Chains A and B, each alone.
Chain A
Amino acid sequence: MKLIDSIKRDFNTMTLVMIPVAIAINVVIGQIVSLLKLPVYLDSIGTVLVAAICGPWAGALTGTLSNIIWGLLIDPNAFPWFPVALVIGFVAGWCAVGGLFRAWWKVIIAGILVSLAAAAISSPIQVYLYGGITASGSSFITAFLLQSGRDLMTAVLSTNFLVEPIDKIATCLLAFVSARYLARFPRPENIMGSSSR
Chain B
Amino acid sequence: MPERMSFFIPRESRIHSLNPLTKLTLAFSLIIIAFFCPGLFLPITINFLVLVPLSFLGKVGKEFIQTSIRLLLPLFAFLFVMQSLFYPGGKTELFGIWIFSVTSEGVVFAFRTATRILVMVSSFLLLLLTTHPSALMSDLARRGVPASLSFIITSTLQIIPQMQAKAATIQDAQRSRGLDTGGNLINRIRSLLPLVGPLVFSSLVDVEERAIAIEARAFTLPVEKTSLVEIPDSPAEAILRWFLAAVAIITIGYRIWLSLSSRI
| Residues in A lying within 8 Å of B, measured CB to CB | 11, 13-14, 16-21, 23-25, 27-29, 31-33, 36-39, 45, 49, 61, 65, 68-69, 71-73, 75-77, 79-80, 129-131, 133-135, 139, 143, 146-147, 151-152, 174, 177-178, 181-182, 184
Contacts and interface: CB of A to CB of B under 8 A. Distances in A.
Contact of A73 (B160, B185, B210, B220): B160
Given A17-B211, A36-B181, A71-B124, A131 B153 contact: no
A178 B188 contact: no
B71 A76 contact: yes
B25 interface: no
Contacts of A174: 196
A75 B204 CA distance: 26
**Which bracket fits the contact residues of B?**
35 or more
Given A36-B192, A131-B83, A21 B206 contact: yes
A72 B197 CA distance: 26
Contacts of A14: 207-208, 211
A31 to B, nearest CB: 8
Given A36-B188, A129-B117, A131-B109, A65 B88 contact: no
B203 A25 contact: yes
Contacts of A80: 120
A25 B199 CA distance: 8
- Output the residue of A27, A28, A68, A79 with the most chain B CB within 10 A: A28
A38 B191 CA distance: 11
A72 B71 CA distance: 13
A37 B188 contact: yes
B207 A68 contact: no
A77 B117 contact: yes
Contact of A21 (B125, B148, B153, B159): B159
A32 B196 contact: yes
A130 B116 CA distance: 9
Contacts of B157: 69, 72-73
A133 B83 contact: yes
Given A133-B78, A146-B88, A69 B188 contact: no
A72 to B, nearest CB: 5
Contacts of A129: 113, 116-117
The 9 closest A-B pairs by CB, nearest first: A76-B124, A20-B156, A17-B210, A131-B113, A135-B75, A24-B159, A20-B155, A133-B82, A143-B86
Interface in B95-135: 109-110, 113, 116-117, 120-121, 124-125, 128, 133
